[in-house]
Structure 1
C-alpha cells in the first residue's frame, strides 16, 4: 500500500526487537513470556512469546514488530494444489488459483527463501538432517531440503538492509540475534518505511468503528502509565483499515467491534484450526543429532546446529489428501536448553515408547542420560534427541468466542481425532529408524484429555462466498451483515484468520500469498498502479532514530472550561464550574533525546493522549501531534518562564479543535512553586491551529493523588542500558529542579 502511494500508519502491539535484543538466557526469555487467555487480560501485558491457553488446544505466537515471523521456523513451502480447490474456499479462489500463485510468487521475491547450502560456503551437513534422511529411507517417504527464509551470505539485501550470514546457532524461534533470518522486519517493513509508512509499536488496538465514510481505530498505548489514571482509549481515523493481528488478534478486534455496534457475520470466530500441528521428540537416539541452540555460546563462526528447520519428510502425496502430512526436524533454542535434560527424562518415563531393545542398548541409553544431567544438554541423551514438527489436516471445527471480555478458544476433544494417532505413528517410525524413544507432545495424553499445542492458528475470520459462509470475501473485505454479499467499505482482514481450513504444512507462504493477492485486487479497485521493482535508498536515513536517550511521563489535569469566555482564564474557569463544564486530560509527554532537550532553548518535547470536554464532545477526544515546551525563557521578562502545551484534538463526531495551554512560572512572592507548576491556563480554538475562532478559556490543576501517580510513570525511553536510563531520568530531574531553584530561590 505504501508502494502505491497511499499514506500508511502501522499500529503494532509488540515491541521492536533488533538483532542482539532477543533473549539469550532462560531468565531473559521468561521476562518475554506472556501467558494469557486472549490478548485482553491486561491492556499493558506485552511479551515476545505469547501463549494463549484454550479449551482443548493452546496457541503459541509471536508479538513484536514483525509478528510471529520473529519467532517462527522460517519455512516457505507451497500448499498441496488440492488444498486450494477445496469447497471451503470462495469460488473466486477455487476457480482462479492463478491469482493466488501470483501472490505467492510476489511474496517469494520479498522473503527470498532458499535451501540450506550443504557443503557450500563453509556450511556443514547437519547431523539432524542426516538423521532425517535415515528416517525417510526407513519410512519409504520422500525427503528434501526445505526453502527457508534465512540469509546464508553477507550482503545488503534488496530493500537496503545489511544482513550478515547465518551462523547456524539454532536460536531461530527465540529470535535471531545474528540478523540473518528474513523476518518481515528485514524486508516488508523496511520496504514500507522506505516508501513512507509510519510505524508505531506498543499500540494495543481494541476495536474499530465506522464514522461516516471513515473508520476510527481505538487503541491503548502500552506501558506509558495511562491505566493508572483509568484513561479512555485513544483513536485515529483512516479511509481504509487492514486488520493483521493474526487468527486470534483480528478475531478479537472484530468481536469487540461487534460489541460496539459493527454489523458482522455470525461466522465470526468459527472454523478455527490448529493446522494439524503436532510436536514430538525422538529422544536419546543411537546417533547424535546436535539440535540444541547455542544461545550465549553463539559466535560469528558457522556452527553445526543449523537453522531451526532445514528438511522435511513430505507425506502430502497420498491419495487421501486429509491423511497427508509434513514431518520436519527442529532445534531447541539456546535460552531454554537448560530445562531439557530433566524435562525429557521425565517425559520419557511418563509417556515415552522405546523403539529398540537389548541389554547393551539399555545401558548406553542410561549412560547418555547421566551425561546430560551432569554435563548439560550439549551432551548425552539431549544431544541425541531429534525434535519433530508435524502439520496435517484436523477437521477445522474449533471456535473462538468473547467471554467476560476475554477471547476464549473452545475445541474440546480435538486431540482425539484419528489423524493425530496416525501422526504419532509416523513419529514413532521416524524415531525407530534412529533407535530412540518416541515422546509425544507432553499435553497429548489421557490425563490432559489429549490437548494440543499449535504454532499455526488459522481461521476465525474465514473467507466465504457470502456472509452465511464466511466473515470476509475472497480478498479479505469484511461482510457487513449476517447474510448476503454486502461489504464494509474499506475494512479488511489479511492474515491467517481468513484461511478457512488447515493447509497441511507450514502456512507462512500461503498467508503471504493471499495477502499479496488481496493487496493487488484492492489497489486495482482503487485504480492505483503498483510497482514491484526494488529500489532501496543508497544509504539509510540515520536521522529517523533518536541519537540519545529520552524521558517520558504521563500526567492528568482537571478543571473547568468556559465555552464562550474569550477574555479571562479565571472567568472561564468560574463559568465552567457554574454550569459543570468540566475539562480533563491525560497526556503523555516525551523527550526523545535529553541532551538535545536541555541544550535547545525551546526545550521541546512531544505529547499525545486524550481530553474530556463535554462542552465540545460527548466522547473522549484524541490529542495527537502535540508539542510540549518546558521552562521557556522570555527575553522581555527574564523573571518569567513558561511551560507550553499544544495539540490538535479529534472528536468522535468528526470535529477538529486546537488546544493551547501554559503554566506561568513566576516568583511574585505570593504564588508558590506548587501552584505555578501545577496550574495550566487553557485556550481551545475551532479548527486545526490557533488561527481558528477562540471558543473558550479555562484552567486546570493537578491533584495530589494524580501527581503521585504521575511520578510513577516517569521513565527513560530507548536507553542503551539501565545505567543510561537512570542518567537520562536524573538529567531531567536536575533540569526541572534547577529551573525551579533559579526562579524561586535565587531571586
Structure 2
C-alpha cells in the first residue's frame, strides 16, 4: 500500500490552508478544501501506520504506548496510543495519520435530537439545515453498517441475555467497518471484516473505514500534502493578517529541529487536547480569545468496565490478524448495544456496548486482574490461555451516557492539565455503576470498574471520548468558536467578531456530552463547517464519493 504522507523535508514554508491534525475534523477539512483547488498542508504529530503495521503482540503494543502525567513522561512522542494521566481524570487518545479513527471502535451513532435542544449549542446550528446535510455526507463517506453476523456472536448474546431479562432493548450497532469487500468513498478497495475483534488496536485487515482510508487519500488525490512527525506547539497572528505556526520536528534524526510555517487560513483539528493546548499557548502570548477557552470539558459520560466470571462464554478478547486461533469469531470491537432510555430525563439515558479487548492485550489480562482478588482464576488462565480459561467468560463493557461538562483545561508549566476536582463524584458514574452491576450480576458475574485501580491508574475515571475546551457558542462571552468553527476575537468591539482565517474543527468544539460515541457527530460538524467555509469564501466543491480508479 502506498503511503500518503510526504517526507517532512519537502514541506513548503507557505500554503493557502494549513490543517493541524488528521482525524475526522482534519480529514474532512483537507478533502473538501483540496477539492476547491486550495494549496493544503496537513500536519500530524504521529506517524503513518499502514494496514498490517498495527501491533498485534504485547511487546509491539507496549512500544506504541506514550504516557504523560504531572511527573511522568514515557514512550515515544509519536506512539499510537496516547495516555494522559490526570489528577482528576485519565484520557486516552490516538496519535497517527488518521487520528483517533485508527484506534477507536468505529461506532457511528447519531445523538438523540434532545441533545441539540440544549442552549449550549449556537442557535444557528439548529436553523440552517446544514447539520442534517453534514450527517448525510458523513454517512456517505464512512458508510457505517451493522454486522450481519451479530446474532451469532457470543459477546452480543451475552449482553442480549441480560437486556432481555432486564427489559431493555438490545440492537445491532452501526460501525465504520466493511463486512464485505468493497470500493469505498475514496475509490479504494477495502477488505471484508474477519471478526478478529482488534478494531481498537488498529485494523490489520483493512476493513475498518478510518479517515486514513477515506478523507485523507481523497485529499491527496486532489493535491493536498500530508506530513507526519510535525507537532505544532503554538501559533501567532502576523502583521499582514496571516498566521504563523511554530512546529516541532519529532523525527528521530531531527533534521528540522523546529521551523515555522505560515498561511492565511489555519484549521486546528488536533483533537480536544491538542487544539485546546495550542490555543491556550497562543492566548498566553497575547492572542485575544474568549476567557471560556479551556472550559466545558466533557468525558462524554464514558466508562470502560468488565464483568468477570460470567456463567456463559463471552469470547470478547480479539484474536488478531493473522488470527491466533482458527474457527474463532469475536466480531468487530462493538457488535451490539443495550439501550436504557428515559423519555423524561435525558441525563438518565445510557448505552451499553459489547466491547472487545485487542489480541495484543491477551497475554497481560491475567496480570491485570491479579490485584483485584481474582488471583486463582488469573493463574488458571496463565496455564489454559485467555481464550479457554476464565477470561473466555470476561465481558468487556463500553458505556456512554451524559455528564455535566464541568472540566477545565489549563496550562501548568506550559503543559496541558485538566482540572475537574469533582469528576469522580459526577452523578453519571453512580448511575452507570448501578446499571452495570445489575447487568453483570444478572449474568452471574462480578462487576469490575477498574482492574488497574491498585496501580498508577488510581481510582480516577477515564475517557476515550474527550470533548470540549474550545466549545462553540453564540458569542465570545459563552464560548470560544462560532457555529462555523471560527475563533472569536475577544479584543474586537463586537462579541461575535472572529479572527479572520482561524478555525477549530474537531471534538473540542462540542459544548456538552453527546450520550453516544462522537465520531459521526464530529464528522458531520466538520462537513457542515466546510460547507459554510465554501459559501463564505465563494468556493465550491463536490462532496460526492470518488469513483473507483
Q: Output the TM-score relative to the length of structure 2.
A: 0.89
- Does structure 1 residue 278 correspond to structure 2 residue 278? no
Q: What residue in structure 1 maps to residue 432 of structure 2?
A: 423
2:317 is the alignment partner of 1:292: yes
- The answer to whether the 8 A contact 1:126-1:304 is kept is yes
1:533: how far off?
2.3
Q: Could you tell me how far apart the structure 1 residues matched to 2:161 and 2:181 are?
A: 32
Question: 1:512 aligned to 519, 523, 527, which one?
Answer: 523
What is residue 535 of structure 2 aligned with on the other side? 524
Aligned residue for 1:181, secondary structure, equals coil
SS of the residue 2:364 aligns to: helix
Q: Deviations over 1:228-257 (max 9, x none)?
A: xxx873111112111001000000011111
SS across alignment from 2:179? coil
Q: SS state of the match for residue 34, structure 2?
A: coil
Confirm or deny that 1:157 pairs with 2:184.
Answer: yes
TM superposition shift of 1:413:
2.7
Question: If each structure's strand is expressed as a fraction of its own residues, which one has the higher value?
Answer: 1
Q: Please, which of 312, 320, 344 is the counterpart of residue 319 of structure 1?
A: 344
Distance 1:158 1:512, change over 3 A: closer
Q: Does 1:57 align with 2:89?
A: yes
Give 2:207's match in structure 1, choosing from 180, 193, 210: 180
Distance 1:236 1:327 in 2: 44
Q: 1:496 & 1:30 partners in 2: Cα distance?
A: 27
Verify the 8 A CA contact 2:367 2:378 in the aligned structure 1: no
Deviation at 1:9, TM superposition (A): 0.6
Q: Secondary structure at the match of 1:213?
A: coil
Kept in 1, the 8 Å contact 2:65–2:75? The answer is no
- Is 1:103 paired with 2:134? yes
Q: Please, which of 199, 212, 223 is the counterpart of residue 196 of structure 1?
A: 223
Contact preservation (8 Å) 2:64, 2:76: no
Q: Which residue of 1 aligns with 2:16?
A: none
Aligned to 2:331, the other structure's residue is in SS state: coil
Question: What are the superposed Cα offsets for residues 264-321 of structure 1, whole Å, 9 maximum, x if unpaired?
Answer: 1111111111111111111111100111111365179874111100111122444200
Residue in 2 that maps onto 1:265 = 290
Tell me the CA shift for residue 473 of structure 1: 0.5
CA contact (8 A) 2:474 2:483 kept: yes
User: For 1:317 and 1:69, how far apart are their aligned partners in 2?
Assistant: 30
Partner of 1:573: none
In structure 2, distance between residues paired with 1:280 and 1:33: 20
Please tell me whether the aligned partners of residues 44 and 222 of structure 1 are also in contact (alpha carbons under 8 angstroms): no
For residue 100 of structure 2, what is the aligned residue in structure 1? 68
Select the residue among 481, 485, 493 that pairs with 1:476. 485
Aligned residues: 513
Write the distance in 2 (CA, Å) between the matches of 1:384 and 1:303: 15
What corresponds to 1:234 in structure 2?
259
Match of 1:216 among 244, 247, 251: 244
Following the alignment from structure 1 to structure 2, what is the Cα–Cα distance between the partners of residues 222 and 449? 30
For residues 138-177 of structure 1, what are the alpha-carbon distances to aligned partners after superposition, in whole Å with 9 as ceiling and x for unaligned? 2211110011000111233231222111111111111111
* 8 A Cα contact 2:65 2:76, kept in partner: no
- Is the Cα–Cα contact under 8 Å of residues 41 and 226 in structure 2 kept in the other structure? yes
Structure 1 pair 182–301 and aligned structure 2 pair: CA distance change class (3 A): farther
Equivalent residue runs for 1:593-604 within 5 Å: none
SS in 2 for 1:9: strand
Q: 5+ residue gaps in structure 1?
A: 351-365, 539-747
Q: Deviations over 1:511-540 (max 9, x none)?
A: 1111111110111111112212233462xx
Q: Does 1:207 align with 2:234?
A: yes
CA distance change for structure 1 residues 149 and 332 in 2, over 3 Å: closer, same or farther? same
How far apart are 1:344 and its partner, in Å? 2.5
Task: Provide the C-alpha distance between the structure 2 equivalents of 1:444 and 1:87, rounded to a whole number of angstroms.
Answer: 37
2:24 equivalent in structure 1: none
Determine the structure 1 residue equivalent to 2:193.
166
Q: Which runs of 5+ in 2 are unaligned?
A: 1-32
Name the TM-score, length of structure 1 as normaliser. Answer: 0.66
* 1:144–1:348 distance in 2 versus 1, CA, 3 Å: farther
Rounded to whole Å, the distance in 2 between the matches of 1:506 and 1:459 is 14
CA distance in 2, matches of 1:293, 1:405: 39
Separation in 2 of the partners of 1:44 and 1:300? 31
Change (3 A) 1:407 1:131: same
Runs (4 or more) in structure 1 with deviation over 3 Å come to: 40-44, 224-227, 299-303, 368-371, 442-445, 447-450
2:164 paired residue among 137, 140, 152: 137
Q: Structure 1, residues 652-686: CA drift from partner, whole Å, max 9, x if none?
A: xxxxxxxxxxxxxxxxxxxxxxxxxxxxxxxxxxx
Report the alpha carbon displacement of residue 45 of structure 1 after superposing the two structures with TM. 2.0
Q: For the Cα contact (< 8 Å) 2:183–2:548, is it kept in 1?
A: no
Instruction: Give the Cα separation in 2 of the matches to 1:204 and 1:21.
Output: 22
> Bigger CA drift: 234-243 or 432-441?
432-441
| Residue 434, structure 1, aligned to residue 443, structure 2 | yes
CA 300–127 in structure 1, closer or farther in 2 if over 3 Å, else same: closer
Instruction: Pick closer, same or farther for the CA change 1:514–1:444 going to 2, 3 Å.
Output: farther
- Please, which of 419, 422, 438 is the counterpart of residue 413 of structure 1? 422
Q: Is the 8 A contact 1:266 1:468 kept in 2?
A: yes
Question: Which region of structure 1 is more displaced relative to structure 2, 153-162 or 294-303?
Answer: 294-303
Deviations 1:453-482 (A, max 9, x none): 100000000011111100101111001116
Deviation of residue 494 (structure 1)? 0.5
State the alpha-carbon separation in 2 of the partners of residues 429 and 297 from structure 1: 37
SS of the residue aligned with 1:295?
Answer: coil
Contact 1:167 1:300 in 2 (8 A): no
* Correspondences of 1:567-646 after superposition (within 5 Å): none
Equivalent of residue 4 in structure 1, options 36, 42, 45: 36
Greater relative contact order: 1 or 2 (C-alpha under 8 angstroms, separation 6 or more)?
2
C-alpha distance in structure 2 between counterparts of 1:24 and 1:132, whole Å: 26
Structure 2 counterpart SS, 1:491 = strand
User: Does structure 1 residue 374 correspond to structure 2 residue 399?
Assistant: no
Task: Tell me, yes or no, if the aligned pair for 2:204 and 2:321 is still in contact at 8 Å.
Answer: no
